[in-house]
Amino acid sequence: MATEGLTCPECGSSNIVDDQLYSQPQLVCEDCGSVISEGLLTTTASEEVQGTDIAYCYTTAVHNQPCRNLIKGLQRLRAFCRILRLKTDTEKMSETFYKQAYSHPHFINVSLQKKEVLVGCCVLVSCRLCNWPIGMGTICSLLEADPNLLGMVYLQMIKSLKIEAPNTAIIEMLEAHCQEYKLRPEHVSEGLSEDVKALTKRAIALIELAADTWIVTGRQPVPMMIACTFLAWQSLRPTKDRLKYSVDKFCQMAKVNRNQTAPKRVMELKKVLSKLGQEIPWLRVEVTLANVMPHVDDIMENQSALLRRAMRTHEESLQDEDQPDPQECPPGEHATLGSQEGTAPSQTSRDPEHHPPPQPCLAVCEPDREGAQAPSDVDPTTGTDVGQEDDGEALARPLQVPVETWSKKYLFVPPCVRHPKKRKRRVETPMPEVTGDEDISDSEIDMYIRTPQEVRDFVKTKEILSEEGEEDEQ
């Protein structure tokens, strides 16, 4: 330290020296021994003789690593997005939401189960913001999580991060959607008008049927709502005037924007209704796409029973196709087939009283009546009673068929399975098999034999190299 110009405040002496006490410099007067100043801090880094207190994050070049659970959560989120085949922007948005939610005070001290569910919530809110049709049920099935827990974490996340996610409950959207149709008596004629409450109730029933038969899966909501509303309007009063209307003409009459995909959804719903209408036991006419509208009331009342009956009929038809034709069997096998079925062909033809023709069973279409159960409610493949099982279990009951053909074996499957995308076939070029024992032709042997000119050049080059080697040794 510089001591020039300094004087002692006690004795006035200018004999001041710099005394180094360990690593702390001091200015001391030699005449009286008083300490003038101590612990002075230098102003430049080169003059410092002792380190200062600095935070740990500034003393090392290594950045803080994220939490181990955060790393696993991000890996699970990326795998989740790959399974759903989401776009890159949606995946990045999900990662951003997950990092913000993970570091939020509401999700720091929570269980690992909630943090795993948080991954699905971030993917769900990103899909809704990007207008990608992914439902909460799909997230629950992939995560194998409790729907109540997923809903609670989802509501807490959008509230904590202040995210305005759109509501995609199609039932609530349908109720508001039906209000837009101008079908009151003051807008259209009396034969074409319809009550909004009745129209909404029938449209909700149709869209629930579409959900049970996988038509809604992966589809945009607006075309589905237009199709259900149009079919509800036709089925409430299936007159000739209403049945003549198409979807586009109906939207024009109701002053609603047209949709190009709505006619396809109408055709898919009509096919499902016709399949269920064919299972109504008291109808003596064949239900087709042209005459299915007058029978929609009966189909909606007995929806669950008709779904089970249609699936059972489809399974029986597939089993009949797999069984061999009795006409093609040898003569000795006819008796075996007849004994297995419990009736011989001769007895059936000679004694019709013992084997009356099967009567249509009305109990299958009355599931609410106590003790009513149809004899055909027993599954012929497993022998179990399907009349008491849940509707969702009945729709999800698999057949014992290979995975490659299960889309054809099921009666109702998702659209992506019914119409899969065509993938490019990878043509693998076969590699040549070389063992070393192959025959060599004379022309191939001549390729490896040196010509006379090559022999002379080789000998000449060898002599030149040998002479250069001798000169280097000398």
Residues 240, 290 within the same domain:
yes
The three-point CA angle 446-449-453 to 5° equals 115
Closest listed residue to residue 315, CA positions, set 417, 400, 420? 400
293 within domain boundaries: yes
In a domain, 7, yes or no: yes
Residues 177 and 265 grouped into a single domain: yes
All residues at 6 or more sequence positions from 116 whose CB lies less than 8 Å from its CB, including other chains: 73, 76, 143, 145
Angle between helices 196-212 and 262-277 (to 10 degrees): 80
Domain end, chosen from 283, 301, 319, is at 301
CATH of the domain at 242: 1.10.472
Is residue 186 domain-shared with residue 292, that is, in the same domain? yes
Give residue 346's pLDDT: 35
Structure tokens at 339: 């004994």
Nearest to 407 by CA among 394, 395, 420: 420
What are the distances in angstroms from CA 342 to CA 167, 337, 355? 58, 9, 11
* Residue 131 counted as domain residue: yes
**Could you tell me if 176 and 272 lie in one domain?**
yes
Q: Are residues 193 and 271 in the same domain?
A: yes
DSSP 471: H
Which residue's structure tokens are 């008596």? 185
Q: What's the Cα-to-Cα distance from 31 to each of 5, 19, 25, 222, 374, rounded to whole Å?
A: 16, 14, 19, 99, 121
Distance from C-alpha of 283 to C-alpha of 360, rounded to nearest angstrom: 10
Contacts 24+ apart (CB under 8 A), 131-137: 131/166, 132/86, 132/90, 133/168, 133/218, 133/219, 133/220, 133/221, 134/84, 135/168
Residue 411 inside a domain? The answer is no
Contact present, 334 and 328 (Cβ < 8 Å): no
Q: List the CATH number of the domain containing 35.
A: 2.20.25
Burial of 188 (0-12, 13-18, 19+ CB in 10 A): middle
pLDDT by residue, tens only, the chain of 474 residues: 556 667 787 787 778 777 766 566 777 787 787 777 655 444 445 545 555 555 655 555 455 677 788 888 899 999 989 888 888 999 999 999 999 998 888 888 888 888 889 999 999 999 888 888 777 878 888 888 888 898 899 989 988 888 887 766 678 788 888 988 999 988 999 889 999 999 999 999 999 999 889 898 878 888 999 999 999 999 999 999 999 999 999 999 999 998 999 999 999 999 999 999 999 999 888 999 999 999 999 999 999 999 999 999 988 888 887 776 555 544 444 433 333 333 333 333 333 333 333 333 323 333 333 333 333 333 433 334 433 344 444 444 444 444 446 667 788 888 877 777 777 777 777 777 777 777 777 777 777 788 888 888 988 998 888 888 777 776
Question: Which of 270, 301, 332 is the C-terminal boundary of a domain?
Answer: 301
CA angle 303, 313, 273 (to 5 degrees): 35
What pLDDT shows up at residue 58?
Answer: 57
321, part of any domain:
no
pLDDT at 201: 93
Cα–Cα dist 345/447, whole Å:
81
Three-class secondary structure of residue 429 per DSSP: coil
- What's the 3-state SS for 97-119? HHHHHHCCHHHCCCCHHHHHHHH
Note whether residue 415 is domain-resident.
Answer: no
How far is it, in rounded angstroms, from Cα 270 to Cα 309? 18
Q: Are residues 195 and 284 in the same domain?
A: yes
Distance CA 174, CA 5 (A): 92
On whether residue 207 sits in a domain, the answer given is: yes
DSSP code of residue 39: -
- Please state, in angstroms and as integers, the Cα–Cα distance from residue 424 to each residue in 407, 421, 427, 431, following that order: 20, 10, 9, 21
How distant, in Å, are the alpha carbons of 171, 194, 199, 254 from that of 204?
7, 15, 9, 19
In which order are the strands placed within the sheet that holds 35-38? Answer: 16-21, 24-29, 35-38
Tokens of 334: 């006819």
226 and 112 within one domain: no
Q: Are residues 102 and 189 in the same domain?
A: no
In total, how many domains does the chain have? 3
**351 C-beta neighbours (distance < 10 Å), count:** 9
Residue 235 lies in a domain: yes
Please report the pLDDT score of residue 35 as a whole number. 76
Q: Are residues 11 and 35 in the same domain?
A: yes
Q: What is the pTM of this model?
A: 0.50
Range of the domain at 140: 68-160
| Residues 139 and 194 occupy one common structural domain | no
- Residue 229 is encoded by which pair of tokens? 């509303």
CATH number of the CATH domain containing 96: 1.10.472.10
Is residue 125 located within the same domain as residue 22?
no
Buried b / exposed e along 282-315 (16+ C-beta atoms within 10 A): eeeeebeeeebbebbebbbebbbbbbbbbbbebb
Residues in Cβ contact with 286 at an 8 Å cutoff, skipping those fewer than 6 apart: 278
Residue at a domain's end among 246, 276, 301: 301
pLDDT at site 98: 92
Asked if residue 156 and residue 192 are part of one domain, the reply reads no
